[in-house]
A = this chain, B = another copy of it.
Amino acid sequence: MPGKTPIDRIEIRLAGEGGQGMILAGIILAEAAAIYDNKNAIQTQVYGPEARGGASKAEVIISDGEIDYPEVINADILVALSQEACDKYAPNLKKNGLLIVDEENVGRVPVTSAIKVPIARLAAETTGKPITANVVALGLLVGMTGVVSRQAIEKAVTARAPKGTEELNRIALNTGFSLAEKIMKPHSRG
């Protein structure tokens, strides 16, 4: 039964290089949660000296209740599209947290349980636009975790897609969903 479990507080970090669209991905995820799924959400970017280094990260906290403390300390989920992002933020992942990396851009991962997917390549192959990697990553993340509903993320992606790119972004999102299904399948057989 696909019942709805209330989410207490889930902390998500989306990290990559500048230009990979992770900040927009964070906004889309927060809007999916808050506007379309009726949850509370906080989306934050903290820019310190590292912002000048090209690394870029977005943080999203999602909860069914009120969110007391607005900053992510130890993420439950980290998506890292670059090696620098993985090196920097994976150490702050919670024990048993979910680490998703772009396998072609992240060679070294600190946990054996990391989910490795060629996110950018699959984005390029399915949409023709490598820049949709951020939306593929969102589809993968949502498909694997259910942190927001598929309908919510679909609406949020479409609402934020630049005019004329809605279909492209839908394809990217579905690519992420399909990847998630492939990854989850062996587990659900148990």
Contacts and interface: CB of A to CB of B under 8 A. Distances in A.
* Chain A facing B: main interface SS: mixed
B40 A52 contact: no
Contact of A43 (B41, B47, B52): B47
A35 interface: yes
A47 B35 contact: yes
Interface in A37-77: 38, 40-49, 51-52, 67, 70-71
Number of copies: 2
B27 A45 contact: yes
A34 interface: yes
The 6 closest A-B pairs by CB, nearest first: A34-B47, A34-B51, A41-B47, A44-B44, A43-B45, A42-B46
Interface of A: 23, 27, 30-31, 33-35, 38, 40-49, 51-52, 67, 70-71, 162
7 contacts: A31-B47, A33-B47, A34-B47, A34-B52, A40-B48, A70-B71, A162-B162
